[in-house]
């Protein structure tokens, strides 16, 4: 199944990654630029189990070359063997596949590298920074941490996106992309200082993620065990 995936596929095979075939059962446009696809899991959830912010690698054809991207599971149903994936649509092979996805379509998926470690001690406040690509993971994180209050800096406007934030305990700050780093640098220190056991979670494009993670660690002194940072995509 992993043949023809180039060096990435070879490395994953050496790491004993598990491969599955997913089948589309439903697809819907949440907004003109955000699409949700429901799939049967091909035995994935029974074989791997489920954890918060769990993600899988999907394999797409990009002009005859293998192209893989990671997506967070949405509403996983182990008993029914199904989950949804949500796509922030732009140019590229993954978005092209999502736009065209119809019931009966299949796609190959690999599980390797996804993990979640519950912060200990439990967070007194979650400080999350993300964008449409990481919205499914933000939702999963907030669900997993239950009643924990959170402040979320989100790149862009709401525009009908499926946020699962609770206004009673989550503050959602919409920030234009050009202002995101500046806003977080200006606002994060006071929230850290006011919180016992804060937990900082960053998932934007790779450059923004690196910039903010370095700022949190080196300038604000956030311990590594209280900081999660993962670049979800590369800006052009």
Give the CATH number of the domain where residue 129 resides. Answer: 3.40.50.80
Over residues 57-103, the pLDDT tens digits come to 999 999 899 889 999 999 999 999 999 999 999 999 999 999 999 99
DSSP track, 60-72 = EEETTEEEEEEEE
If asked whether residues 131 and 225 sit together in one domain, one would say yes
Distances (CA, A) of 209 to 102, 156, 220: 34, 16, 15
Last residue of a domain, one of 80, 111, 142: 111
Look at 124 and 6; give whichever has higher pLDDT: 124
Confidence of residue 184 (pLDDT cuts 50, 70, 90): very high
Domain membership of residue 11 (yes or no) is yes
Confidence of residue 113 (pLDDT cuts 50, 70, 90): confident
Domain that holds residue 83: 6-111
Number of domains in the chain: 2
Full-model pTM: 0.88
pLDDT for position 1: 41
Phi, psi of 90 (to 5 degrees): -155, -160
pLDDT for position 4: 55
How high is the mean pLDDT of the chain? Answer: 91
């Amino acid at each position: 199944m992993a043949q023809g995936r180039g060096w990435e596929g070879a490395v994953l095979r050496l790491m004993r990654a598990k491969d599955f075939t997913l089948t589309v059962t439903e697809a819907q446009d949440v907004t003109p630029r955000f699409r949700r696809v429901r799939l049967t899991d091909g035995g994935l959830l029974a074989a791997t189990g489920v954890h918060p912010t769990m993600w899988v690698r999907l394999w797409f054809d990009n002009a005859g070359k293998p192209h893989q991207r990671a997506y967070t599971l949405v509403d996983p149903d182990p008993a029914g063997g199904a989950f949804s994936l949500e796509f922030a649509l732009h140019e590229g092979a993954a978005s092209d596949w999502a736009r065209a996805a119809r019931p009966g379509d299949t796609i190959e998926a690999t599980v390797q590298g996804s993990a979640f470690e519950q912060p200990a001690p439990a967070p007194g406040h979650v400080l999350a920074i993300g964008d449409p690509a990481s919205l499914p993971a933000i939702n999963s994180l907030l669900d997993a941490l239950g009643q924990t209050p959170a402040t979320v800096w989100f790149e862009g406007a709401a525009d009908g996106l499926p946020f699962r934030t609770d206004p009673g305990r989550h503050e959602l700050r919409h920030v234009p992309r050009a202002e995101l780093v500046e806003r977080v640098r200006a606002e994060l220190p006071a929230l850290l200082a006011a919180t016992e056991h804060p937990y900082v979670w960053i998932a934007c494009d790779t450059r923004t993620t690196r910039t903010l993670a370095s700022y949190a660690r080196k300038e604000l002194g956030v311990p590594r065990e209280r900081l999660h940072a993962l670049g979800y995509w590369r800006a052009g």
